[in-house]
Structure 1
Amino acid sequence: MLPDIDSLALFVRAAELRSLTKAAEASHIGLAAASRRMALLEHRFKTALLERSPRGVELTPAGASLLPHAKALLHEINEMQAEMRDYADGRKGALRVLANTSAMTESLPADLAAFQKLNPDVRLLVQERWSSEIVHDLQAGEADIGIVVEGLQTDGLETRVYRTDRIAVVMPASHPLANVPEMKFAHVLDDDLVALESSASMMRLLTEQAVIEERTLQLRVQVRSFEAVCRMVQAGLGLGLLPFEGASVMGGALGLMVRPLSESWAERNMLVCVKKERASNTSVAKLVEYLVSTGPS
């Protein structure tokens, strides 16, 4: 007899939370019911899966072997249910697309809208995330396609270049740096800076380059959005650091000057990422090919 799906889901939660009590709460069942489910699961497999202690639970060797199989099975069942639900609702398929702020601020909305017109039977669910979060969600099977900035570990994912961007300095038009012939990163390191939160991939790159310059970033304000950076610059709180395309749109509307950094490292590729197991899906492959085709030849 095959193990039931609810018991496998409970086992995965217990393994990840290292607590049967917390797993029971997450599954909205009582602890006694959760214990019975785990006992039946272990009976079906004829081996212990969890070792219980006052501190929680740990996987046995058999449990550690079962965990990736259980996760893969639950992922496939989730995809099956989602696809069948879309057929029931009259839609052929739905793709969850995660994109970083650079892509969402620049070319991606128009590209997705054009793809949607060409493929009305594919429903797109689009959400904004930091690049590191996108990679994690793709690897966990919680999204179909991601747009991230290069430089992250993308194990288990297939990647292709979508677009490029270049880090730029956002400043009032009256700032002395507005007239320098060539904008260098070293030029801004004496100023107060307004930038994105430290979890943004761009900030890691800027911090690394500051170390190479044997300097530190004078971060005065860190926020979550491009618009907030530009408004802080407009208010006189410092120079902004943002991707050029997105900053040009927002900064220009606020009367700010946007100057791209001249260093080669400031140019970054944006990548389309797909989990290898999902790359062969017809709708996924179609969207990936379309996005790649809109980029530089």
Structure 2
Amino acid sequence: MRFDLVDLRLFLNVVAAGSITHGAELSNLTVGSASARIRAMEETLGAPLLVRQRHGVIPAPAGECLAGHARLILRQAEAMRSELAPFARGLTGTLRLVSNTAALSEHLPELLAGFLRANPSISIEVEEMESAAIGAAISAGDADIGIASASELPEALEKLPFREDRLVVAVPRAEAREGAPLAFADIVERPFICLARGSALQRHIASQAARIGRTLKVRARVTSFDAMCQMVGAGAGIAILPEAAARRHGATADIATIPLADSWARRDLAICISATSRLPDAARRLAEHLCAQDRR
């Protein structure tokens, strides 16, 4: 039975995402390549690993068994690599950090840069995920540290306060007005400027629209909050984004921001780690570094 580490990582990403498409994105593979690898694994095993459903996939019984072994193998491979790395390049550890869009774009870059400067022997792999998927990744041992909405994390995880995250509505400055926050249901029919489909924040907003039986009217998809704000300022549509990003880009884009009234628009971000597994020393140092920084 020949499953390589790429196969195992892909399979775990597909299971975590509930989708071959999103699992391929997380693995930096094309959908065609990912599908071919999954089919080859099933043919080699002689049993289905995934149950294909209308809106995604779930692991079959053989897939559940494989996922457990894959996590052990990948953890052992990472431990081996970390121990051997000092002999080759002087590295002493590689951490895997998973984060939601708001923390990754607005809070982490400067903090991680400071940590890496102070710890030249440690490397960090950062991946964007939705908060619910982050909790699952930490619980399964697929990542060392997560930063996500505290309310969407499992009770079994240890949670440390990180930042407050508020989502706001960006509109053209000409629409600026004083008044109460906007309810999502009152603006969901308007044309939206959105992030790319793979964005965790965009999937979160789309899921909120689906909860009230609506689908966002997407005028354009862009890859950054800056591009989003510029297009809103030019009158192409409205957007929902973190308040910190709106403040940062509002100085150069002709936009105004209005608070979003819905409860899901205010999130307390937390650093999450496993409460049952021993945290590697490098991960512990990173968690302490993130907790020690001033909240802004």
Give the TM-score normalised by structure 1.
0.66
After superposition, what is the alpha-carbon deviation per residue over 1:43-90, rounded to whole angstroms, capped at 9, x for unaligned? Answer: xxxxxxx7x5xxx468xxx97997566335313321222212332221
Any residues of structure 2 matched to 1:166-185 within 5 Å, and which?
Answer: 166-175=166-175, 178-185=176-183
RMSD: 4.3
Say if 1:225 and 1:157 are closer, same or farther in 2 by CA, change over 3 A. Answer: farther
The residue that corresponds to 1:243 in the other structure is 242
The residue that corresponds to 1:203 in the other structure is 205
Say if 1:63 and 1:293 are closer, same or farther in 2 by CA, change over 3 A. Answer: same
Say if 1:12 and 1:101 are closer, same or farther in 2 by CA, change over 3 A. Answer: closer
The residue that corresponds to 2:103 in the other structure is 103
Say if 1:79 and 1:188 are closer, same or farther in 2 by CA, change over 3 A. Answer: same
Quote the offset at 1:23 in angstroms. Answer: 7.0
Q: What is the alpha-carbon distance in structure 1 between the residues aligned to residue 293 and residue 112 of structure 2?
A: 11
Quote the offset at 1:10 in angstroms. Answer: 12
After superposition, what is the alpha-carbon deviation per residue over 1:182-210, rounded to whole angstroms, capped at 9, x for unaligned? Answer: 3322663563333344863541574378x
Q: What is the alpha-carbon distance in structure 1 between the residues aligned to residue 219 and residue 171 of structure 2?
A: 14
Q: What is the alpha-carbon distance in structure 2 between the residues aligned to residue 257 and residue 180 of structure 1?
A: 11
Q: What is the alpha-carbon distance in structure 1 between the residues aligned to residue 219 and residue 163 of structure 2?
A: 28
Quote the offset at 1:174 in angstroms. Answer: 0.9
The residue that corresponds to 1:43 in the other structure is none
Say if 1:217 and 1:64 are closer, same or farther in 2 by CA, change over 3 A. Answer: closer
| Number of equivalenced pairs | 257
Q: Report if aligned partners of 1:96, 1:126 keep a CA contact under 8 Å in 2.
A: yes
1:120 aligns with 2:120: yes
Q: Report if aligned partners of 1:169, 1:241 keep a CA contact under 8 Å in 2.
A: yes
Amino-acid identity (%): 25
- Residue type matched to 2:179 in 1? P
Q: What is the alpha-carbon distance in structure 1 between the residues aligned to residue 193 and residue 276 of structure 2?
A: 40
- Residue type matched to 2:75 in 1? E
Say if 1:279 and 1:237 are closer, same or farther in 2 by CA, change over 3 A. Answer: farther
Quote the offset at 1:222 in angstroms. Answer: 5.8
Which entry has the higher C-alpha Rg, 1 or 2? 1
Give the TM-score normalised by structure 2.
0.67
SS at match of 1:179: coil
Quote the offset at 1:164 in angstroms. Answer: 1.0
- Residue type matched to 1:254 in 2? A
Q: What is the alpha-carbon distance in structure 2 between the residues aligned to residue 101 and residue 10 of structure 1?
A: 25
The residue that corresponds to 1:75 in the other structure is 74
Say if 1:82 and 1:155 are closer, same or farther in 2 by CA, change over 3 A. Answer: farther
Say if 1:167 and 1:115 are closer, same or farther in 2 by CA, change over 3 A. Answer: same
Quote the offset at 1:241 in angstroms. Answer: 0.9
Say if 1:266 and 1:295 are closer, same or farther in 2 by CA, change over 3 A. Answer: farther
In structure 2, runs of 5+ residues without a counterpart are 15-35, 50-60
Say if 1:295 and 1:182 are closer, same or farther in 2 by CA, change over 3 A. Answer: farther
Q: Report if aligned partners of 2:129, 2:200 keep a CA contact under 8 Å in 1.
A: no
Q: What is the alpha-carbon distance in structure 1 between the residues aligned to residue 108 and residue 6 of structure 2?
A: 38
After superposition, what is the alpha-carbon deviation per residue over 1:242-276, rounded to whole angstroms, capped at 9, x for unaligned? Answer: 11101221233223222333555421112223344
Give the stretch that moved more between structures: 165-174 or 81-90. Answer: 81-90
Say if 1:83 and 1:207 are closer, same or farther in 2 by CA, change over 3 A. Answer: same
Q: What is the alpha-carbon distance in structure 2 between the residues aligned to residue 161 and residue 146 of structure 1?
A: 12
In structure 1, runs of 5+ residues without a counterpart are 35-49
Q: What is the alpha-carbon distance in structure 1 between the residues aligned to residue 214 and residue 72 of structure 2?
A: 48
Q: Report if aligned partners of 2:71, 2:142 keep a CA contact under 8 Å in 1.
A: no
Q: What is the alpha-carbon distance in structure 2 between the residues aligned to residue 144 and residue 130 of structure 1?
A: 16
After superposition, what is the alpha-carbon deviation per residue over 1:78-127, rounded to whole angstroms, capped at 9, x for unaligned? Answer: 12222123322212212122322211221211111222233333222334
- Residue type matched to 1:80 in 2? A
The residue that corresponds to 2:144 in the other structure is 144
